[in-house]
Structure formats: C-alpha cells, structure tokens
Amino acid sequence: MSHDDFAFEPVEGLPERPPAHERILWQGRPDTWALAREAYKINWISGYFVVIVGWRASVGAADAGLAGAVAFGLPYAALWLAAVLVIMALAWVSARSTVYTITTARVAMRIGAALTVTLNLPFRQIANADLDLRKRGTGTIALETLGETKFSYLILWPHCRPGHVRVTKPALRCIPDAAAVARILSDAAEARVSEPVIERSPAPAPAPTRGLVAAE
C-alpha cells in the first residue's frame, strides 16, 4: 500500500493553507536528469570512469589481447554502472521530495528528503533573481534576499546557487521551462512590490480632562 510522506500538508508544498487573498501561480520540482547532471555531476563522474576503464582495458589488451581487455576493464565498467545508478537514485529522491511554489505574495520551497524544510520568501524580502538558462529549457533561478537573513549552504544544497558558499542564495534548481517560470516570478513580484503598504498609526491618547469647579 503506497503512502504519501507529505499527506499532512493542507496544500502540497506549503505548510499551511494560503490566505484567501493569496493565489498559487505555479508549482514544480527539479528535472531529475538535469539535477543529476548539474548538481551531482554525473557527466564528470562518467568521464572519470571512461578514462579508468579505457586505461585498464588497454593494459589488459597489451598483456592478453581482447580477453585481457575485457577482464581488466569489466570490473571498472561495473563500478561505473553502479555509480550512475546511485547518482540517478539520489537525484530522483531529491527531485521527488521537492516542491517549489510561486504565489502572488511569495516564493516557497519545500526541500529535503530526510529532513524536510520549508522556506517562505516574501517578494518584499527578495532583492534580485538571476536566471541560468540551459539549452534544453531547464534552468536555475537564484534568489538574492534583503537584510541579514542567512542560509546554511549544507541544508539548502542542492537547492542553492552553485559556488556561492559565503552568501548562500536559495534557488529553484534545474526546473523545466525555466524562462516561463522566470516571467511568472517577475510579473508576480513586480505586482506585489508595487502595491501600496497601508500602515495604521496608533490612535492619539485622549487629552486629560480637567475637572469643573462649581461656582458657589
């Protein structure tokens, strides 16, 4: 019997139901293959194993021909396959446990497979958003926040801008159709920030009353 680990969420990806005036504009999660390629570096690891398998196979071929090449190269090829399967499994779990949400008021990120964390980033606390677009349409939208808010790189990874460790920037990582999502985010943030903020001033304290002295 299947079980949804996030069935306690009133709305998928959000810890609580949004207020009546707030609407969800977009929800999505990372593309598994793009995440494996960009965050888990599956191409680099595969390239390393190609060199190792080729080197060991050439050593075996020099000693015993084709049979030697197979005998020397096959164990490393098996390790290569195992590494690829592990990386793809990690990328799938990471993508499956993630939900990015853009509403009319904020960006929310539910991340983490073992330790689930939900980040709420109101548009008024976001200073800038950078889009890193890839050839197949996937991309990463990194968010720069205002103020003294700091994030842990280890907790956010891989949902953060790569290489920015000192100033960690949360990111919608490896999302499909990233250009369209960036437009949704830009339009929603512009509309939200341009809304006037009405602040209620405290009511002035009533002036003290002076007692009336009755004339005798």
Counting the structural domains of the chain, the total is 2
Position 213 confidence tier, pLDDT thresholds 50, 70, 90: very low
103 and 189, same domain (yes or no): yes
Contacts of 128 (CB under 8 A, 6+ apart): 143, 144
Position 67 confidence tier, pLDDT thresholds 50, 70, 90: confident
In a domain? residue 166: yes
Query: 165 is in which domain, residue-wise?
Result: 24-31+98-193
37 secondary structure, DSSP code:
H
Q: For residues 165 and 209, give the distance between their C-alpha atoms in angstroms, rounded to a whole number.
A: 62
85 and 102, same domain (yes or no): no
86 and 155, same domain (yes or no): no
pLDDT greater at residue 198 or residue 56: 56
The CATH number of the domain where 135 resides is what? Answer: 2.30.29
86 and 146, same domain (yes or no): no
71-121 confidence digits (pLDDT tens) = 889 999 999 999 999 999 999 999 999 999 999 999 999 998 778 889 999
Position 207 confidence tier, pLDDT thresholds 50, 70, 90: low
Work out the number of other CB atoms within 10 angstroms of the CB of residue 1: 2
151 and 85, same domain (yes or no): no
11 secondary structure, DSSP code:
B
89 and 103, same domain (yes or no): no
Q: Is the pLDDT of residue 66 over 70?
A: yes
Q: Is the pLDDT of residue 27 over 60?
A: yes
3-17 confidence digits (pLDDT tens) = 454 455 678 888 888
148-191 confidence digits (pLDDT tens) = 778 888 889 999 998 888 889 999 999 999 999 999 999 999 98
Question: In terms of DSSP H, where are the helices of the chain?
Answer: 32-38, 42-96, 153-156, 178-194
